[in-house]
Amino acid sequence: MSSRTARRFAPLLALLLLAVRGSALPVESEQTVFQSSAYTGSSLPVPGPTKSFWTHGTADANPLAAEGSEGALTSEADVCIIGSGISGTSVAYHLSNLVKAARVDVSTPVSAVILEARDFCSGATGRNGGHLTPYSFVYFNGNLKLWGEDEAIRAVEIERYVFSEIGNLVDKHGWAEKVDFVPSGRVTMAYTQDLYDQIRLDYESAVAAGVDVSADEWLTKEETKERYGAAYPAARHPGSNVWPLKLVTEFYHLAKQASPAYNLTLHTRTPVTSFNVASQGSSRKWALETPRGSIECSYVVHATNAYTKHLLPQFEIIPTRGQIIAVRANASVEELTNSALVLKHQYWFPRPVSDPSEAPLVIIGGGRQEVGSPEEYYTTDDSVTNPKLGKHLRDFLPSVFPEKFAAGREPEMEWTGIMGYTPTDDPYVGPIQDTESIKFDGQYVVAGFSGHGMPRAFGAAEVIARMVGAELDGSGEWEVPAWFPRHYLTTA
Ligand SMILES: Cc1cc2nc3c(=O)[nH]c(=O)nc-3n(C[C@H](O)[C@H](O)[C@H](O)COP(=O)(O)OP(=O)(O)OC[C@H]3O[C@@H](n4cnc5c(N)ncnc54)[C@H](O)[C@@H]3O)c2cc1C
């Protein structure tokens, strides 16, 4: 099924997806059957968002927070990227690589600008759970049924590719400490026989399709109890904990310094409120309107995730709020281990500490499926938290690990963030298709990561950069990398 066909039948597909993937799935990426037709628009990012550990946990957490928010607005650029999360900043980074490698053959410097509505990287990327974990075989069987074997394999490959590429950058530039990159893996505990059977089926389908699962490990309930303190059978996958905002800040710096032939500017606190065809006689195609004035662009990339519908109502991306707390453990990292863990719909990991005997801050999120909170869907309001969900998150760890977490302990920070869910849980990547009223020549989208963007957005952004690069060098020819799932493409 092509992705456009699939999306036309989105509500039906969502039901099918629920049937083939099951409902008891770990982490934020659970499948929800959205009434997407009932939801017509999305707001701009709201003012005064809650403060996350990643954006405000230390005084120097977000040095680019207000970058380019004052003074003159850039008046024109070759490429305008809307959104400064991992998607938008990664597009800027990959474009810089193309220019540096002279694969974009231009005689004058390529100019790119990132326009961000609030502070730098203050959307989902600056407010998430901090797990950079490829789904090595999780969901494999569902993807196999929906998209066929080649696509199911590519859905694994993109995540492994991203994890490996980001790991290589971390090693090459010595960022590990700076961005808290701790590749300690993640353990998914199967708390029901159904979930165990489902993960096992995913695993066996992946093995049958030739996916290399040698880095994954199965644990008996006794082994999980011994290592992590809860008696459930579990699967352990490679993955990393990370400070997402700091990682993305480094991507920005690399892009900014990449080449004299690449001129990158960032304007934070500059929401794009609408777009129009550029003025007559302009060499550019589009004009983006902001409260600070307008900016003319040859190419536009929408990296706006949960907020995409505000400018592009034709995309089925539903904003969904997630909540996180940062709470001090009552045990050392030695006792907790530095592994990320998933149990039921909660996911958590301890922050790195300088002394392993110290009690770490633990970042834990999720839980809305267990609390049953419909108010988390169809909302872009991350300026508030939900007390019901907050109580659930506070109670969860002490109830499962009473010897490691103190009941009644208040979190040091608590925040919300907005995810963008699509009917298939997969993002939209590529040129925006024309509608009856608008010809979207030169506009691209990379959005809709459905609560699981860290191991996918960097790869999707590379594909967008290749597409835009091919326009800039006049060849118009781009190749989709072997590891990229074709069903993510808007052109499929
Ligand atoms: C609570 C929570 C927990 C999560 N946990 C994880 C996890 O542990 N692991 C994982 O892989 N994924 C997780 N996710 C999902 C992950 O964070 C996202 O998939 C990913 O960050 C998406 O990146 P993005 O750049 O596409 O979107 P965002 O980071 O949301 O960036 C989009 C940016 O666009 C800006 N913007 C929007 N509209 C406009 C406009 N009109 N003009 C200017 N700027 C605009 C926004 O302000 C925002 O900064 C979580 C998400 C949340 C909310």
What is the model's pLDDT at position 369?
A: 85
Atom of ligand 1 nearest to the CA of 451: 15
Label residue 17 left, alpha or beta by phi (over 0 means left) and psi (-120 to 50 means alpha). Answer: alpha
Residue 293 belongs to some domain of the structure: yes
Q: What percent of the chain has pLDDT over 90?
A: 85
Residue nearest to atom 15 of ligand 1 (CA): 451
DSSP annotation string for 353-415: -SSTTSPPEEEEEE-HHHHT-GGGBT----SS--HHHHHHHHHHHHHH-TTTS-TTPPPSEEE
User: How many domains would you assign to the chain?
Assistant: 1
- What is the pLDDT confidence band of residue 474, given thresholds at 50, 70 and 90? confident
Mode of pairing for the β-strands spanning 217-219 and 76-82: unpaired
Residue 379 belongs to some domain of the structure: no
Residue 108 belongs to some domain of the structure: yes
Alpha-carbon distance 210 to 149, whole Å?
10
Residue 208 belongs to some domain of the structure: no
**How distant, in Å, are the alpha carbons of 213, 300, 397 from that of 326?**
32, 37, 12
Does residue 1 have a pLDDT over 70? Answer: no
What tokens appear for 288 in the block? 């983006």
What tokens appear for 193 in the block? 């026989």
8-22, 343-357, 400-414 — which is least confidently predicted?
Answer: 8-22
Residue nearest to atom 14 of ligand 1 (CA): 451
What are φ and ψ of residue 380, in 5° steps? Answer: -110, 15
What is the model's pLDDT at position 281?
A: 93
Q: Is the Cβ–Cβ distance between 360 and 130 less than 8 Å?
A: no
Q: Which of 384, 419, 462 gets mutated to test ligand 1 (max ligand atoms within 8 A of its CB)?
A: 419
In tens, the pLDDT along 118-161 reads 999 999 999 999 999 999 899 999 999 999 999 999 999 999 99
What is the model's pLDDT at position 476?
A: 87
Atom of ligand 1 nearest to the CA of 120: 49
What is the CA(449)–ligand 1 centre distance, in A?
A: 8
Query: Would you give the distance in Å from CA 271 to the centre of its chain?
Result: 20
ipTM of the complex: 1.00
What is the CA(305)–ligand 1 centre distance, in A?
A: 6
What is the CA(306)–ligand 1 centre distance, in A?
A: 7
Atom of ligand 1 nearest to the CA of 118: 47
Query: Would you give the distance in Å from CA 367 to the centre of its chain?
Result: 18
Does residue 5 have a pLDDT over 80? Answer: no
In tens, the pLDDT along 261-312 reads 999 999 999 999 999 999 999 999 999 999 999 999 999 999 999 999 999 9
Q: Nearest Cα to 425, choosing from 147, 117, 123?
A: 147
Contact residues for 67 (Cβ-Cβ < 8 A; gap 6+): 120, 266, 267, 268
What is the CA(361)–ligand 1 centre distance, in A?
A: 23
Q: What does pLDDT average to over the chain? A: 92
Does residue 9 have a pLDDT over 50? Answer: no
Residue 168 belongs to some domain of the structure: no
What is the model's pLDDT at position 38?
A: 59
Could you identify the residue written with the tokens 């694994």? 156
**201-216: average pLDDT:** 97
Residue 344 belongs to some domain of the structure: no
Alpha-carbon distance 205 to 200, whole Å?
9
Atom of ligand 1 nearest to the CA of 115: 43
Instruction: Say which residue, 7 or 390, is predicted with more confidence.
Output: 390
Q: Nearest Cα to 465, choosing from 284, 276, 193, 262?
A: 262
Q: Is the Cβ–Cβ distance between 275 and 209 less than 8 Å?
A: no
What are φ and ψ of residue 484, in 5° steps? Answer: -95, 125
Residue 468 bridge partners (DSSP): none
**CATH number where 437 lies:** 3.50.50.60
What is the CA(132)–ligand 1 centre distance, in A?
A: 14
What is the CA(243)–ligand 1 centre distance, in A?
A: 14
Residue 66 bridge partners (DSSP): none
- 373-392: b (≥16 Cβ within 10 Å) or e: beebbbbbebebbbeebbeb
Measure the CA dihedral 180/122/323/23, to 10°: -90
In tens, the pLDDT along 337-373 reads 999 999 999 999 999 999 888 999 999 999 998 887 7
Tell me if residue 321 falls in helix, strand or coil.
strand
Alpha-carbon distance 264 to 260, whole Å?
10
Measure the CA dihedral 429/486/25/186, to 10°: -80
- What is the pLDDT confidence band of residue 102, given thresholds at 50, 70 and 90? confident
Does residue 483 have a pLDDT over 80? Answer: yes
Q: Nearest Cα to 419, choosing from 137, 140, 126?
A: 126
Residue 279 belongs to some domain of the structure: yes
- Which residues constitute the domain of residue 287? 53-125+245-316+425-488
Which parts of 5-90 are beta strand (E)?
A: 76-82
What is the CA(125)–ligand 1 centre distance, in A?
A: 4
**240-244: average pLDDT:** 98
What is the CA(234)–ligand 1 centre distance, in A?
A: 29
Q: Is the Cβ–Cβ distance between 74 and 408 less than 8 Å?
A: no
Q: What angle do CA 223, 229, 232 make, to 5 degrees?
A: 55
Pocket of ligand 1 (CB under 6 A): 28, 44-45, 82-88, 115-118, 122-125, 127-131, 271-272, 303-307, 310-311, 322, 324, 365, 417-419, 447, 449, 451-455, 457
What residue type is assigned to position 315 of the chain? F
